[in-house]
A and B are shown apart, each in its own frame.
Chain A
Amino acid sequence: MAIAATTRRLSASERLRRSLGNGRVTAALILLPPALLIFTLFVMLPLGESVWYSFFNWNGYGAPTDFVGLENYQRIAGHSIFHKAVGNTLKIVAISILLQMPLALLLALLIYRKTPTNAVFRLIFFLPFILAEVAAGLIWSFVFDGNYGVTASIAQSFGAESFFILADRDWAFVAVMTVIVWKYFGFHMMIYIAALQSVPEDLIEAARIEGAKRRQIVRYVQIPHIKPAIIVSAFFAIIGALQVFDIIIPLTNGGPSNQTHTIVTYLYTFGLTRLNIGFGSAVGVILFFAAITVAIFYQRFFMGKDKA
């Protein structure tokens, strides 16, 4: 019996070794190409083409022939609205890190424990994140509407003049940032909650027995422990700021007088709607390098260190 089993296993492993080559190659040749094809065609090729197109003055019809070298980049670099768009993007990063993330962390600390009440609050705070950005933008464009909105009602109840914040050059972007904080703080909070729940309870208990106050536990036990989560959430905030588009369109559409553009709304408005494919592609290339720089910088200085 035992001998028979051994010989059978031997012959099986022999079979395994022999057919290893064939089956593997066929499998790879069947299973891998679809992904490579779709990804190349719709992601990598357009990316490469955006570099190519960015050297042309081209409206998208026929082949690009009007080679202009770096002129598109020069025009972008000298365009005050582009400066505004970059500035606005940086403002979003700043508000995310200085206001949104601390708020999210505070809330996470208050409700990370698994109780029914906390679950309800968690759900409420996460709701804006699951709404489509366009829907969120429309809702808030109603809230900010000086004739109809919630802010109008509040202004009236104080007897103040109704105020069109989205049409105000100085305040419109403050309104946009309010919506961004409203929409995304729940996302950051969820990241922190997941991390806080993984802090060992013994650690906190030990600190408490040692006489540490609540504030000290937060400062010296919990926050150091969830540092990787904070770093990741900051990364999302920065990458997210580079991509803001959907929210702006229903709120201000980049106006008033181009004060509330972000890089992507700038690309859309000055590249696509005017069919300046070359110009818009150059904006895309700049955006690409911004994103890559952030990713590499982050990998180098934050992520790598934590993994090691």
Chain B
Amino acid sequence: MTRGQLIRNILRVGFLCIVASFVLAPMIATVLGGFKTNAEIRTSAFALPESWNWEFYGSIVSDPMFWRYLGNSLIMSVAAVIITLIVGAAAAYVFAQIRFFGSRMLFSYLLLGLMFPFATAILPLFIKVRDIGLLDTYWAVILPQAAFSLSLAILLFRTFFEQLPKELFEAAYIDGCGYVRFFWRFTLPLSTPILATVGVFVFVQSWNNFLLPLVVLNSREVFTWPLGMMQFRGEFVTEWNRTLAFVTLTIVPAIVFFLAAQKYIVAGLTGGAVKG
């Protein structure tokens, strides 16, 4: 390595480290803040805590409402994923496998959801959910969430299904396997990569969603964790250490999940990019 290259490399790594510290500093301050007394946060937000106080983290972990929020989010997200995958894959299968009059039109119709943001129809959605009598229930989040995820899911599924070998279907068909059974027995099992990608994508969206639960949920019993966190922040408005501990405890599972599902998240991201 010549001297010029060495200097360039040092500059490069230096710049990367500066950006990395801009990214990490708020997160580290958050994690550490959960261990500090409020007086200490006030004087040194960024230093290591003088003594590691586990009580703020402890009080949240031992609060049943905290687990309730997480549990609610988990149930709603998993349900939204399951519905999106089954309903979306079924529709995409029809578009990929069966030609019929109007199929292109129906396909375009179902893709309309890609064109506009969730928020555009949030008020009529609120009215609709209320009139059906779902307000303040899990379904109020699950069904609209799945409905809005369908467009992207159907688009990605159809592309994938069309790439599955046609001979397979013909062979199964000759052996007396019908369309619906083929879908369950062959198409779905063969499509696990795309199912996982879309599943992770929908899960993350639903897990992090704020606007929809905010609009359709009222009581703390059904709150998702972002709503619970805002509620908690409101209750302890002067005690940053408690809020920071709460935030930390909710982002840790997110980061663990990301590390575990990194492959699918990045795939879903580039898949989503293709859609544009």
Bound CA–CA A291/B113 (angstroms): 11
- Which residues on A sit within 8 Å (CB–CB) of B208? 132-134, 246
Known pairs A42-B144, A127-B255, A133-B208; A35 contacts B150 (CB<8 A): yes
Q: Taking the complex as formed, is A166 at the interface, i.e. its CB lies under 8 A from any CB of chain B?
A: no
B42 A45 Cβ-Cβ under 8 A? no
A50 B128 Cβ-Cβ under 8 A? no
- Which residues on B sit within 8 Å (CB–CB) of A103? 19
B128 A291 Cβ-Cβ under 8 A? no
Q: Taking the complex as formed, is A245 at the interface, i.e. its CB lies under 8 A from any CB of chain B?
A: yes
- Which residues on B sit within 8 Å (CB–CB) of A117? 13
The segment out of A80-88, A94-102, A199-207, A263-271 that lies at the interface is A263-271
- Which residues on A sit within 8 Å (CB–CB) of B115? 291-292, 295
**Distance in Å from the Cβ of A273 to the closest Cβ of chain B?**
10
B269 A190 Cβ-Cβ under 8 A? yes
A193, closest chain B residue (CB): B266
A107 B19 Cβ-Cβ under 8 A? yes
Q: Taking the complex as formed, is A44 at the interface, i.e. its CB lies under 8 A from any CB of chain B?
A: yes
B94 A284 Cβ-Cβ under 8 A? no
Mind listing 28 A-B residue pairs with CB under 8 Å? A12-B174, A23-B179, A24-B98, A26-B179, A30-B90, A35-B154, A42-B147, A47-B124, A107-B16, A111-B16, A127-B24, A127-B27, A131-B254, A132-B207, A132-B251, A134-B230, A139-B247, A182-B23, A194-B266, A245-B119, A246-B210, A267-B123, A268-B211, A271-B123, A284-B123, A287-B119, A288-B121, A303-B276
List B205-257 residues whose CB lies under 8 Å from chain A.
207-208, 210-211, 215, 226, 229-230, 233, 240, 243-244, 247, 250-251, 254-255
A150 B45 Cβ-Cβ under 8 A? yes
**Distance in Å from the Cβ of A282 to the closest Cβ of chain B?**
10
A142 B240 Cβ-Cβ under 8 A? yes
- Which residues on A sit within 8 Å (CB–CB) of B20? 121, 124-125
Q: Taking the complex as formed, is A69 at the interface, i.e. its CB lies under 8 A from any CB of chain B?
A: no
B117 A272 Cβ-Cβ under 8 A? no
B110 A36 Cβ-Cβ under 8 A? yes
Bound CA–CA A276/B23 (angstroms): 40
Given contacts A46-B128, A132-B254, A245-B211, 17 further A-B contacts (CB under 8 A): A23-B178, A27-B98, A30-B180, A31-B91, A31-B94, A34-B87, A39-B113, A46-B121, A124-B20, A127-B23, A130-B258, A133-B208, A148-B41, A150-B45, A190-B266, A246-B211, A267-B119
List A157-203 residues whose CB lies under 8 Å from chain B.
182, 186-187, 190-191, 194
Bound CA–CA A35/B109 (angstroms): 11
B128 A41 Cβ-Cβ under 8 A? yes
Using a CB–CB cutoff of 8 Å, the interface residues on chain B facing chain A are: 12-13, 15-16, 19-20, 22-27, 29-30, 33, 38, 41-46, 83, 86-88, 90-91, 93-94, 97-98, 100, 106, 109-110, 112-113, 115-128, 130, 143-144, 146-148, 150-151, 154, 170, 173-174, 178-180, 183, 204, 207-208, 210-211, 215, 226, 229-230, 233, 240, 243-244, 247, 250-251, 254-255, 258, 265-266, 269-270, 273, 276
Taking a contact as CB atoms closer than 8 A, the residue among A32, A60, A138 that contacts B94 in the complex is A32
B143 A38 Cβ-Cβ under 8 A? yes
**Distance in Å from the Cβ of A39 to the closest Cβ of chain B?**
5
Bound CA–CA A186/B16 (angstroms): 13
List A97-120 residues whose CB lies under 8 Å from chain B.
103, 107, 110-111, 117
- Which residues on B sit within 8 Å (CB–CB) of A256? none
The secondary structure that dominates the A interface is helix
B44 A153 Cβ-Cβ under 8 A? yes
Task: Digitize A59-89: 1 where CB-to-B-CB distance is under 8 Å, 0 elsewhere.
Answer: 0100000000000000000000000000000
Bound CA–CA A41/B83 (angstroms): 15
**Distance in Å from the Cβ of B42 to the closest Cβ of chain A?**
5
- Which residues on A sit within 8 Å (CB–CB) of B255? 127, 130
A148 B143 Cβ-Cβ under 8 A? no
Minimum-distance CB pairs A-B, first 7: A27-B179, A35-B91, A42-B147, A46-B121, A46-B124, A49-B124, A132-B208
Bound CA–CA A141/B255 (angstroms): 21
Known pairs A36-B106, A41-B147, A229-B273; A287 contacts B124 (CB<8 A): no
List A37-59 residues whose CB lies under 8 Å from chain B.
38-39, 41-47, 49-50, 53
B233 A250 Cβ-Cβ under 8 A? yes
B180 A280 Cβ-Cβ under 8 A? no
Q: Taking the complex as formed, is A135 at the interface, i.e. its CB lies under 8 A from any CB of chain B?
A: yes
Bound CA–CA A43/B144 (angstroms): 7
Q: Taking the complex as formed, is A243 at the interface, i.e. its CB lies under 8 A from any CB of chain B?
A: yes
Taking a contact as CB atoms closer than 8 A, the residue among B33, B146, B269 that contacts A142 in the complex is B33
List A138-154 residues whose CB lies under 8 Å from chain B.
138-140, 142-143, 145, 147-150, 152-153
